[in-house]
Amino acid sequence: MTNIVVLVKQVPDTNAKIVFNGESVDLSAVKMVTSPYDEFAIETALQHKESSGGTVTALTVGGSGADKILKDAKAMGVDNIVRVWGDGFETLDSNSFQSVLSGVLSELGADVVYCGKSSADLGSGSTGPGVAEKLGWASVSNIVSASFGDGLTVTAPADGGNAVVNVSLPAIISCDKGDLKPRKPNVRGIMMAKKAQVDVREASAPASTVTLVSQTPPPAKPAGKTYEGGQSAAEVAKLLRDEANVL
């Protein structure tokens, strides 16, 4: 029985308009969703279970608001849903966050862990390799496909081509988009999710070693220029060559 765990994170909907309140990002009115790459991780985890048996546990670090994405994962078909929270977790840095996760993963007895290659909000991409480092596990990042026949074999881009890697467990695998299509929930899954209990666990984190100083919005894009008609073609070509450097 393979104990499969998938890490999921709640992030602002990628379609949402982000409001900046002067010092930091204001998320109070934003719809929160599962980070898109995590959906590929869930799909890979479910396929792993379907091909070689086992259980899939979705794990998130977050407040009670994050129960929603766990229920969404349950509706897609995971077996268990676990949420971890503790004092001061609002401001965890990547390093302390990875310590928390590695503690819980040991507690859960995970054999293999899937996660998204990076989260849609912070996008640092450090979780998979960072946790693997703390646990001393194998780690492959940015995989685009996986097969589970004879051990775990994954494909990840490498040096302009693809590397096919056979991974010994325990391992942490971070998932890119690949050609997977994350499955959609159905009514039966949603009704199971409604009944499911979130397993809430307390944890403590090591003191943070970094401090967030401030956030700033990206610089506004300069206004675009419009050219109409065939007579402007020469000028457009010149600008594309000299200013945009794309020709």
Residues in contact with another protein by the rule CB under 8 A: 15, 31, 71-72, 75, 184-188, 190-191, 193-194
C-beta closer to another protein: residue 6 or 75: 75
Classify residue 66 by its DSSP letter. G
Contacts of 156 (CB under 8 A, 6+ apart): 140, 141, 142, 143, 144, 162, 163, 165, 176
Shortest Cβ 223–another protein spacing (Å): 15
C-beta closer to another protein: residue 38 or 72: 72
C-beta closer to another protein: residue 67 or 96: 67
Shortest Cβ 185–another protein spacing (Å): 5
C-beta closer to another protein: residue 31 or 241: 31
Where do we find the tokens 């640092």?
124
Shortest Cβ 15–another protein spacing (Å): 5
Secondary structure (3-state) at 229? coil
Which pair of structure tokens corresponds to residue 168?
């010994």
**Sign for the pseudo-dihedral over CA of 16, 19, 24, 29:** negative
Shortest Cβ 198–another protein spacing (Å): 12
- Residues 58 and 8: beta-carbon distance below 8 Å: yes
| Helical (H) or strand (E) element with 190 | helix 187-195
Shortest Cβ 29–another protein spacing (Å): 12
C-beta closer to another protein: residue 33 or 112: 33
